[in-house]
Amino acid sequence: MDRELTLEFARVTEAAALACGRWMGKGDKIAADQAAVDAMRAAFDTVSISGTVVIGEGEMDEAPMLYIGETVGAGGPEVDIAVDPLEGTNLVAKGLPGSIAVLAIAPKGGLLHAPDMYMDKIAVGPKAAGKIDINAPVKENLKAVAGALDRRIEDLVVVILDRPRHSRIVKEVRDAGARIKLIADGDVSPAVNAAIEGTGVHMLLGIGGAPEGVIAAAALKCLGGDMQGRLWPENDSDVERAKAMGITDIKKVLTIDDLVHGEDVMFAATAITEGDLLRGVNYFGGGARTHTLVMRYKTGTVRFVDAIHKSDRKSLFIKRV
């Protein structure tokens, strides 16, 4: 893939963020998500790729656009695409921080075709890469990360989704002495934050979506971070779904290279509402301002794109706001 594509992918996530940001705080997560999907799908038509959606809005009969298996792009290198046009639908609907429009790209076959089910995850930044073990007790992982960062456990901040299923993990983290940041939705952003110094986040723990796990792994791979995951089926249907997608060992610990492999991985995320790392969409008379993170593993490039979009320009994303 040409390096110029990284900025083209930034335009795709910008399109989704600009479209659905208008729904912030309006209490309609379905409309917000649809706006993001429509804009992202239209933006892909302008990018010079032959892409296949391997993680998207659902199966063909569940989603009219960006469904698993859909082909997108204007023609070019064959790539696998993982998308979440709006990660954090409830966050946007309620006007809460942390929602993003996000995608990951890899050469064909480079992304795990994760079923739409839960995944147990642990994610850290570059300094703690190789130090984590999803099978180890929580306290042991905290000790390992603290040592790698030259901190005390009490200095660490762990992000965990605020769910009843995490009551044991929350207790173990608190008993060990670390601090916790509970979040309502969306665990891709915290995984990214754990790999960037200055965000105040040092680790992500807990059970979230498996598709989001693959997207987060792409970002962490670009940043030199580390992640492990293990599928967490709720029932026999989940097990069968995983097997249908080629995952026969449900209990296997998936390393970051299992989740994302290859040398040319790209990642882009545009904030919709305010986050620890990126500023949310800001509309003003005559246009809007976006803040985007775009990365490429092959070159090690990490870009923050602060963009102004003029509404008097007949561009794709502004027309769809």
CATH at 187:
3.40.190.90
What is the reported pLDDT for 320? 39
The residue among 259, 275, 309 that closes a domain is 259
- On whether both 298 and 199 belong to a single domain, the answer is no
Report how many helices (DSSP H) and strands (DSSP E) the chain contains, helices first: 10, 14
- Fill in the DSSP letter of residue 126: G
- On whether both 254 and 270 belong to a single domain, the answer is no
Please return the burial class of 307, using the count of CB atoms within 10 Å of its CB with bins 0-12, 13-18 and 19+.
middle
| Domains of the chain: total | 2
Residues of the chain with pLDDT under 50: 314-321
- On whether both 236 and 163 belong to a single domain, the answer is yes
- On whether both 253 and 280 belong to a single domain, the answer is no
Structure pTM? 0.93
Written as one letter, the residue type at 109 is G
| Alpha helices, H only, 80-166 | 89-94, 138-149
- On whether both 236 and 273 belong to a single domain, the answer is no
What is the reported pLDDT for 110? 96
Q: How far is CA 195 from the centre of its chain?
A: 13
| Alpha helices, H only, the chain | 5-20, 29-44, 89-94, 138-149, 167-176, 188-194, 210-223, 236-244, 256-259, 316-319
Written as one letter, the residue type at 175 is D
**203-209 and 157-161 as β-strands: parallel, antiparallel, unpaired?**
parallel
Dist. CA 292–CA 224, nearest whole Å: 19
- On whether both 41 and 133 belong to a single domain, the answer is no
Dist. CA 282–CA 264, nearest whole Å: 32
What is the reported pLDDT for 180? 98
Dist. CA 111–CA 177, nearest whole Å: 36
Domain that holds residue 68: 5-108+264-319
Q: Say which residue the tokens 């010079």 belong to.
A: 48
Please return the burial class of 258, using the count of CB atoms within 10 Å of its CB with bins 0-12, 13-18 and 19+.
middle
What is the reported pLDDT for 60? 65
Domain contains 31: yes
- On whether both 155 and 253 belong to a single domain, the answer is yes
- On whether both 229 and 286 belong to a single domain, the answer is no
At a CB cut-off of 8 Å and minimum separation 6, what does 80 contact?
Answer: 51, 52, 54, 105, 106, 107, 108, 109, 110, 111
The residue among 259, 281, 306 that closes a domain is 259
Pair 102, 215: CB distance under 8 Å: yes
